[in-house]
Amino acid sequence: MSAEKEFITLLNQHQKIVYKVCNLYMDLHADREDLFQEITLQAWKAYGNFRGDAKFSTWLYRVALNTAITYFRKEKRQPAIYATESLPERQQEAPDPVEEQVKAMYVAIGTLSKIDKAIVMLYLEDYDYKEIGEMMGITANNVAVKMNRIKTRLKEETQKTAANY
């Protein structure tokens, strides 16, 4: 199998990772599509050096996060309101409280900085602090402290958002 076909097959199997990063970093559908394209191209360019000593998913996370963090849009297509496109319309009937909490948490994650979003993403993927530290280039201790701060901030943000519903 040629390297290109091999890469396409692997990316096709792991494309959810790329979508996750795009959803986390971009508010609008068009921006997500652009970022998806950018991550795919950057991954393809770096694929020649992927030796298989790490899992493809871990390697792809690293490429995707590096691309998303350094991705720069000159113009915003419209004022950023995080994830409004992907959120369902507010229902008139009694809303599901868990769904509301998820929605509030999703919005709260959107308010985090690019670096904190990356840490949250890896945390949600169940990477331990040491692995997150290796991917981010910081110590496990630093990740632990940052994660605590992030959790506190998310709790406060979700409470604020919940109060507005």
Partner 1 sequence: MELDELKSLINQKLTTDHSGRSANDIAQLLTRKTGSVIDKLKRSLRIEVICCIAAILLFAYIGIWGHFTSLRIYFSVFALLSLVFLGILVHLYKRINDLSATTLPVKSNLQTILHIIQEFSKRYFQFTMALLPVCFVFALILGYTENNKPDLPVLDKAVADKLNTGWKIISFVVVYLLILSVGLYYFTKWYLHKLYGRYAAQLKECIAELEEQV
Q: What is the contact surface with partner 1 in residues (CB under 8 A)?
A: 4, 8-9, 11-12, 15-16, 19-20, 22-24, 32, 34, 36-38, 40-42, 44-46, 48-50, 59, 62-63, 65-67, 69-72, 86, 98, 101-102, 105-106, 109, 113-116, 118, 120-121, 123-125, 134-138, 141-142, 145-146, 150-151, 154-155, 158
Q: Rounded to the nearest whole angstrom, what is the least distance from the CB of residue 94 to partner 1 in the complex?
A: 18
C-beta closer to partner 1: residue 91 or 141: 141
Running DSSP on this structure, what letter comes out for residue 139? -
Tokens matching residue 31: 């921006």
> Residue-wise over 27-63: b if at least 16 C-beta within 10 A, else e?
bbeebbebbbebbbebbeeebeebeeeeebeebbbbb
